[in-house]
Structure 1
Amino acid sequence: MTQTISERLYEGYAQTFEASELLFEVRTEHQHLQIFETPALGRVMMLDGIVQTTEKDEFIYHEMMVHVPLFAHPKPRRVLIIGGGDGGILREVLKHPEVEQVTQVEIDQSVIDLCRQYFPNHSQGAFDDPRANIVIADGREFVAQCQDRFDVIISDSTDPMGPGEVLFTSDFYADEKRCLNPGGIMVAQNGVPFLQGDEITTTWRRLTPLYQDASFYVAPVPTYVGGFMTLAWATDDPALRRQSAADIASRVQAVQRQNPEFRPRYYNEDVHVAAFALPNYIRALLN
């Protein structure tokens, strides 16, 4: 039976989905999870009433979260993922043959289990890859206690509310910085600046005391309504954000020679460079 399900992330504004079938709904220890089928976007997952991923447009978000930092870094051997229980980030990281180990920290085992069942194309077997180390734990506590070091850290968290709120604090960013190798890169989901501008300003102010180069890059993900989504970027090597398309293309080609199955649907070297060109309304939030 067809029903409508609305996301009300912003006051006075909502997007509504025609759900042809509610496939699964549960309140876990940490959050309210819904998975439903739609005619336009395929399967959709919501956590606490907020859209997390859809079958149709997930590739844009996951490719940009992963390939921008991994191709910007000259030798990304060890990667840490915070969140990302649907498996899309892990899937894209493991497409890089030079990556030797990926540690993924997800707070909710049920998210992984349900996404393996209802969104198998998100992970495509990535959770079973021998390079993947899956840790069920709170991401905030993990980085606070972690003694390992990583070349790239990807924070694929929910918005700064509920379980995801602690992943946007100054203490969390400082602990992430401690977990990075010299020259490492941290990227993080940071919302839609047209409607969540305060979040971008707050993140920028918290990152700039920690890193020599803190900024954002953008990606248009249709499901995340409001225009561009911003992805936070932080590193102590400012040159990594200013590489040419030719430099990035040479690394993409090197991966493709080792992994002929690497064929991104959104990401390429020109998109990589252009993503760091911020519109003026986003620049104005960095003050």
Structure 2
Amino acid sequence: MSRWISESLYEDYRQGFKAGDVLFEEKTEHQDLIIFENDFFGRVMMLDGVTQTTDRDEFVYHEMISHVPILAHGAAKNVLIIGGGDGGVLREVLRHQDVQCTMVEIDASVVEMSKKYFPDHSAGAFDDSRCHLVIADGLKFVKETEDRFDVIIVDSTDPIGPGEVLFTSEFYKDCQRCLTEKGILVTQNGVPFFQGDEVTTTQERMSPHFADMNFYVVAVPTYVGGFMTLAWASNDPAARKQPIEVIEERFKAAGFDTNYYTPGVHVGAFSLPRYIEKLIK
């Protein structure tokens, strides 16, 4: 008999995956981790009952959270990733040849399991000489580091459990301290159809620390509920409003292909559906 594994992120709604082989299942120091096979989505990772990534659709999220801030900045050299233990964001960031990347992940077991069971996510990025992997608390790292970054990408879980501290005003303030003058912060911010309060709360907590704060959207099939939002913050208001011609030129110069991201999608992603606009004060 097939085993169905349900996601338990929402109280009144669930999605389920028909699981084939369960490849790994363990309660780690920080969270419950399970990796299993699904005939359609390939390998699926869940942490604490919440879908984190799948083989089939990971490129959508990883491309948009990575290339939008890097190409909007236009001259990023140093990038910081908080979280992202599966290596997908790291893979996309390092496709930009001039970039050095520091990655801070709290749970070493997530990195090791991802290398073993999701090798295509990182595609060798952990072995790239431009990657500096730090196993540490991201909240503490941004508070104490003396390094400065052109782009900070927060690829966190939802604001429950270990990921909750990465949605606080204190954390956003410390991220701002770590950014260069025209630096950009992008964070995972949930699916506002179900998690609308996260948009409002993030805006309230992030806005005091940046001259420009907003959101852009991306549709990831396994993050159910339609569009998910990615929070955007910078002290350079012009970065978010780069014309498509500029983004096209930068993307062409980057010299790689994508499966979701395009300059048109980049620019259009900042045009928010009305129901999301209503969540922004």
Q: So what's the TM-score if we normalise by structure 1? A: 0.97
The Cα offsets for residues 91-138 of structure 1, whole Å up to 9 and x where unpaired, read as 000000121x10000000000000000000000000000000000001
What RMSD over aligned residues (CA atoms) do the two structures have, in Å? 0.6
Q: Which residue of 2 aligns with 1:185?
A: 184
Q: Which residue of 2 aligns with 1:79?
A: 79
Query: How many Å separate the matches in 1 of 2:93 and 2:2?
Result: 37
Q: CA deviation at 1:2?
A: 2.3
Amino acid at match of 1:284: K
Query: How many Å separate the matches in 1 of 2:251 and 2:226?
Result: 27
Query: How many Å separate the matches in 1 of 2:3 and 2:74?
Result: 49
Identity %: 61
Q: CA deviation at 1:156?
A: 0.2
Amino acid at match of 1:270: G
Q: In structure 2, the residue corresponding to 1:13 is in which secondary structure?
A: coil
The Cα offsets for residues 173-206 of structure 1, whole Å up to 9 and x where unpaired, read as 0000000000000000000001000011000111
Q: Which residue of 1 aligns with 2:149?
A: 150
Alignment of 1:222-233 (within 5 A): 222-233=221-232
Query: How many Å separate the matches in 2 of 1:144 and 1:158?
Result: 20
Query: How many Å separate the matches in 1 of 2:63 and 2:197?
Result: 26
Amino acid at match of 1:46: M
Q: In structure 1, the residue corresponding to 2:14 is in which secondary structure?
A: strand
How many pairs are equivalent?
281
The Cα offsets for residues 138-192 of structure 1, whole Å up to 9 and x where unpaired, read as 1111111111100000000000000000000000000000000000000000000
Amino acid at match of 1:51: T
Alignment of 1:117-196 (within 5 A): 117-196=116-195
Amino acid at match of 1:276: F
Alignment of 1:54-93 (within 5 A): 54-93=54-93
Unaligned runs of 5+ in 1: 257-261
Q: In structure 2, the residue corresponding to 1:264 is in which secondary structure?
A: coil
Query: How many Å separate the matches in 2 of 1:91 and 1:157?
Result: 16
Aligned match of 1:264 in 254, 258, 261? 258
Is 1:277–2:271 an aligned residue pair? yes
Q: Which residue of 2 aligns with 1:97?
A: 97
Q: CA deviation at 1:54?
A: 0.3
Amino acid at match of 1:59: F
Query: How many Å separate the matches in 2 of 1:104 and 1:280?
Result: 35
Alignment of 1:41-60 (within 5 A): 41-60=41-60
Q: CA deviation at 1:23?
A: 0.8
Amino acid at match of 2:229: T
Q: CA deviation at 1:238?
A: 0.8
Query: How many Å separate the matches in 2 of 1:190 and 1:131?
Result: 27
Query: How many Å separate the matches in 2 of 1:52 and 1:249?
Result: 30
Query: How many Å separate the matches in 1 of 2:91 and 2:185?
Result: 18
Q: Which residue of 2 aligns with 1:22?
A: 22
Query: How many Å separate the matches in 1 of 2:188 and 2:207?
Result: 17
Q: CA deviation at 1:9?
A: 0.7
Query: How many Å separate the matches in 2 of 1:74 and 1:50?
Result: 34
Amino acid at match of 2:102: T
Query: How many Å separate the matches in 2 of 1:190 and 1:53?
Result: 15
Q: Which residue of 1 aligns with 2:248?
A: 249
User: Segments of 4+ in structure 1 off by > 2 A?
Assistant: none
Q: In structure 2, the residue corresponding to 1:155 is in which secondary structure?
A: strand
